[in-house]
Amino acid sequence: MHDDKTASPYEPALKHHFDDLGQQHEAAMLGMWLFLGTELLFFGGLFTAYMLYRVWYPETFGAASRTLDITLGAVNTMVLITSSLTMALAVHAAATDERRKLMAFLAATMVLGAVFLGIKGIEYHHKFVEHHIPGFGFQFEGPAPERANLFFSLYFAMTGLHALHMIIGLGIMTVMLIMAWRGRFSARWHTPIEISGLYWHFVDIVWIFLFPLLYLVDRHR
């Protein structure tokens, strides 16, 4: 693992303080997993708050949840799952050194991410028109309207943070696309693609939990 650095052949991607690409790769992957652990607890605070209030105020949360557009939410879920597929294919293309495929799948992932954000924007607009955004003339018809404020506060905090992560993800994908275009990756070294993939899948998984919690939680009635 730690041979003398000068003994190994010159590697343009190898940073000076690592001994070899394997060590560098291992460090980057572990770093990303730890970062995702941080992210998990970051969202965890809001999930905890949501669960607590959902148990305390099931009627209000149900009524508020039913005002969300389940069709748009479901379409968005599909879009995001598909983008996870294209991301996985991009990582595969990087590993097999197919540069054109890699760029195509990265672009597809970005398009799907943008579609998701567009649909989310439409949903936010509906909520704005319906005066369901706390702090912007909030009104709600139904049981205990002030508690609906709680639901929508959490809805916007959670989906907003998720959307912010999507936007950052699009930024990362742009950088990856440029790096791929410049031919920076090879079958031997494509760590940035792999860790970007981890990040993207994580953001998708957060949505996989958000969708049932926010949209589906009261649909059985």
Which stretches of the chain bind another protein, using CB under 8 A? 1-2, 4, 15-19, 23, 26-27, 30-31, 34-35, 37-39, 41-46, 48-49, 52-53, 56-57, 60, 134-135, 144, 146-147, 149-150, 153-154, 156-157
Closest separation in Å from C-beta 37 to another protein:
6
Q: Which of 48, 174 has the CB closer to another protein?
A: 48
From CA 58, how far away is CA 143, in angstroms rounded? 11
Closest separation in Å from C-beta 130 to another protein:
17
Q: Which of 12, 135 has the CB closer to another protein?
A: 135
Closest separation in Å from C-beta 173 to another protein:
20
What are the Cα distances from residue 171, in Å, to 80, 110, 165?
Answer: 16, 9, 10
Nearest to 127 by CA among 135, 62, 220, 213: 135
From CA 134, how far away is CA 184, in angstroms rounded? 46
Tokens encoding 89? 């294919």
Q: Which of 104, 172 has the CB closer to another protein?
A: 172
Q: Which of 41, 129 has the CB closer to another protein?
A: 41
Q: Scan for tokens 């965890």, then name that residue.
A: 44
Closest separation in Å from C-beta 116 to another protein:
22
SS3 content of the chain, % helix, strand, coil (to 5): 75, 0, 25
